[in-house]
Amino acid sequence: MPTQRLAPRSAHPLLAQGWVYLDVRTVEEFTACHPEGAWNIPAFFRGPMGMAPNPGFVAAVAKHFGMDAKLVVGCAAGGRSAKACAALQAAGWTNLVDVVGGFGGGMGTDGEPVEGWQACGLPCSTMAEPGRTWETLQG
């Protein structure tokens, strides 16, 4: 089953239904601001040669979420979250929603601009809930 792709305004109501927002952006991006209640497990790290995949991404998600978890996966614009969803789907997750446009906005599947989570006025925070940061989740 292909991963469902939803714009932020369509993905947001899922959180009230028990879905979890998994923010796959870098720690720095997450710390600056993120969807309220999000968990941060970076799918990629920024390095001297650009972005590189996090080799422990799938294992970290598996450590904290079962295969039956309902995950709304978002990044900055939609590229990293699509790759993260593909990796999770390949590992066996089936309840995945990829946030088209991510946190900051991006392009939809039709090439048209899509407003990001923040521009849509959806709940955001600069304070992470205890136990939901990469610092605590990787260990």
The C-alpha R_g of the chain, in whole angstroms, comes to 14
Q: Coil, strand, or helix at residue 113?
A: strand
Which tokens in the block code for residue 118? 């923040």
Q: Is the dihedral of CA 46, 5, 57, 35 positive or negative?
A: positive
For residue 23, what are the β-bridge partners? 40, 74
User: Which listed residue (75, 85, 120, 124) is catalytic?
Assistant: 75
Measuring CA to CA, which residue among 43, 33, 51 is closest to residue 82?
43
Measuring CA to CA, which residue among 88, 20, 133 is closest to residue 11?
20
Tell me whether residue 85 is one of the annotated catalytic residues.
Answer: no
Which residues are known catalytic residues?
Answer: 75
